[in-house]
């Protein structure tokens, strides 16, 4: 297929390159930040409208809800290059409510729309092993399946209504945040008590407490490697979506709110662009065991 890809950052770049490796033609908008490998792999065009005009399927992977709206509907945006029959896939993590509105506007142009946020971080993007959660019509999902299979391993059509994928991603981000907080507390507890956190993690990896978060982010916490795979400010955005939706539904997410506050502690110290595993720094500060 001819694929337009907009949003070529930490996640988007390897996702786009995996589509190229699977044999698809790649079209991207010109940016000063485009890496040499992307310039070699893709046809570089002037703007999002030109990318959409050249492509059968247009994929977005941008940070937040306003970014998706701007790329789709702003000046020289995707909609200026759309024609009936094209497919727009938003793989960003944004508001489920806004997603429904965006889909309706794209459908009104005779095009299909899928919301397909991902989980797995930079490692999953590089290894084409992302978890992909898809909302939208079955026909559009089947059309996009070969593309999803080039980027991910665990691909689930969550529901036929747009917004279902984004709702699933918000739930994912709640679970990930609370697991990061749990691992942060456990390893800080061990450190404060005089045990070797690395040995404690090794022991826990063989028991019921084992998890992907303990494996990957626990190691980051111990080695102090907080180069971003997924930035705290982006996880904060996702938890804001969760807390906002919970208020609208009249329900409480108490532990999600606490995790959001722990992220805010790190942000207040200049850590907004650290990996979300750096939440441990907030727990460490409260425990008096900072480096």
Residues serving a catalytic function are: 169
The residue among 52, 19, 61 whose CA lies nearest residue 146 is: 19
Task: Kindly provide the residue ranges of all beta strands, DSSP E only, lying in the chain, ordered along the sequence.
Answer: 2-6, 25-29, 43-45, 57-60, 87-90, 112-115, 118-119, 130-135, 152-159
What Cα–Cα distance (Å) separates residue 267 from each residue in 48, 67, 212, 263? 32, 21, 24, 6
What Cα–Cα distance (Å) separates residue 258 from each residue in 41, 243, 253, 271? 43, 11, 9, 17
Q: Which residues of 162-189 are buried (b: 16+ CB within 10 A; e: fewer)?
A: bbbbbbbbbebbbebbbbbbbbbbbbbe
Torsions phi, psi of 205, nearest 5? -65, -20
Torsions phi, psi of 156, nearest 5? -125, 125
């Amino acid at each position: 297929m001819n694929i337009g890809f907009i949003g070529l950052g930490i996640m988007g770049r390897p996702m786009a390159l995996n589509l190229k490796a699977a044999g698809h033609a790649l079209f991207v908008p010109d940016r000063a930040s485009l890496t040499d490998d992307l310039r070699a792999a893709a046809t570089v065009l002037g703007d999002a409208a030109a990318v959409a005009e050249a492509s059968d399927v247009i994929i977005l992977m941008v940070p937040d809800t306003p970014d998706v709206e701007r790329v789709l509907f702003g000046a020289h945006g995707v909609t200026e290059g759309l024609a009936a029959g094209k497919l727009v896939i938003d793989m960003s993590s944004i508001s489920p409510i806004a997603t429904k509105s965006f889909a309706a506007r794209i459908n009104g142009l005779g095009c299909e729309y899928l919301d397909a946020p991902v989980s797995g971080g930079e490692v999953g993007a590089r290894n084409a092993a992302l978890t992909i959660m898809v909302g939208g019509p079955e026909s559009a999902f089947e059309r996009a399946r070969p593309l999803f299979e080039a980027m991910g391993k665990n691909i689930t059509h969550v529901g036929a209504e747009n917004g279902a994928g984004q709702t699933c991603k918000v739930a994912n981000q709640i679970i990930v945040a609370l697991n990061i907080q749990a691992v942060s507390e456990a390893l800080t507890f061990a450190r404060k008590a005089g045990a070797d956190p690395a040995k404690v993690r090794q022991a826990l990896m063989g028991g019921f407490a084992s998890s992907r978060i303990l494996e990957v982010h626990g190691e980051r916490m111990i080695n102090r490697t907080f180069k971003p795979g997924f930035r705290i400010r982006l996880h904060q955005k996702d938890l804001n979506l969760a807390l906002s939706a919970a208020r609208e539904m009249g329900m409480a997410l108490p532990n999600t709110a606490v995790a959001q506050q722990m992220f805010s502690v790190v942000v207040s110290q200049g850590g907004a662009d650290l990996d979300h595993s750096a939440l441990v720094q907030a727990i460490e500060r409260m425990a008096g065991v900072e480096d």
